[in-house]
Amino acid sequence: MAKRGIARAARKELADLPQQLAALASMSVPELAEKYQELYGEPTRSRNRDYLKKRLAFRIQELTEGGLSTRAVARIAELGDKLPERWRMRQVEDAKPSALPPPAAVGGRAPAADGRDARLPPQGTVLTRVFKGTQHRVTVREGGIEYEGQLHRSLSSVAKLITGTAWNGFTFFNLKDGGSKAVAR
C-alpha cells in the first residue's frame, strides 16, 4: 500500500514530463540515486549513471502516463519462472501473502541446509580442471574452496587466480548442466 501512495504523490509532482526527463541528463549519480529512492521507494544498488537515467525515465513515464496494460501484466504472470528475478519479487509483493508459497532462491534453487550455495557439490569433493596443460584441483570445504593450501571464498575467485581473468567459477569447473568432473574423497 505504501508504494501506491508513493506513486500517487509522484504522479502529482511529475506533471511536466519533458522537463522531468530533461532534468535527468544534468543530475549527478548521487542525485539520480536520491530520485530513484523517491520514485521507487527503495534504494538503488547501482551507481551506473546511464542505467539510473533509463530506469528513472521509464518510471517517470510510467507514473505520468500509466504502467503496463492489464493484458501485458497477465502475460507476464503467465510466463512465470521465465521472468527475471526482480519481476517475480514484484509479483510476490503485489499478491496476497497467504496464497503464495515461500519464494525460492535465485535460479529456482533453495539454499542448502547449512546456508552455503546449493550448486556446490558436497564438502570434501575435489574438482579438477586442466587449463593450459596444467591440472588444477580444488576441494570444497565448509568455509569455502581450498586451492593450493589456501581457502578462497568462491570458485570464481579461484578461476580468476588460475586464468588471470574473470570467470564464472561454475562454468570454469564445468559444474553447469550437471557436467561435474568431481572426485569424491
Per-residue pLDDT, 104: 47
Burial class (CB in 10 A: 0-12, 13-18, 19+), 164: exposed
Scan for cell 549519480, then name that residue. Answer: 29
Give the pLDDT confidence of 4-15 residue by residue, as tens digits: 666 666 656 555
Give the pLDDT of the chain (185 residues) as one tens digit per residue: 566 666 666 656 555 788 888 999 999 999 999 999 999 889 999 899 999 999 999 998 888 888 888 898 888 777 766 666 665 566 566 664 544 444 444 444 555 555 667 777 888 888 888 888 888 888 888 888 888 888 888 888 888 888 888 888 888 888 875 544 555 44
- Taking CB atoms within 8 Å and a gap of at least 24, the contacts of 17-26 are 17/60, 17/61, 17/64, 17/65, 20/60, 20/64, 21/57, 21/60, 21/61, 24/53, 24/56, 24/57, 24/60, 25/53
Per-residue pLDDT, 34: 94
Q: H/E element holding 127? A: strand 126-131
Q: What's the CA gap between 29 and 120, in Å, rounded? A: 37
Per-residue pLDDT, 122: 81
Domain boundaries, the chain: 2-65, 70-104, 126-183
Per-residue pLDDT, 29: 93
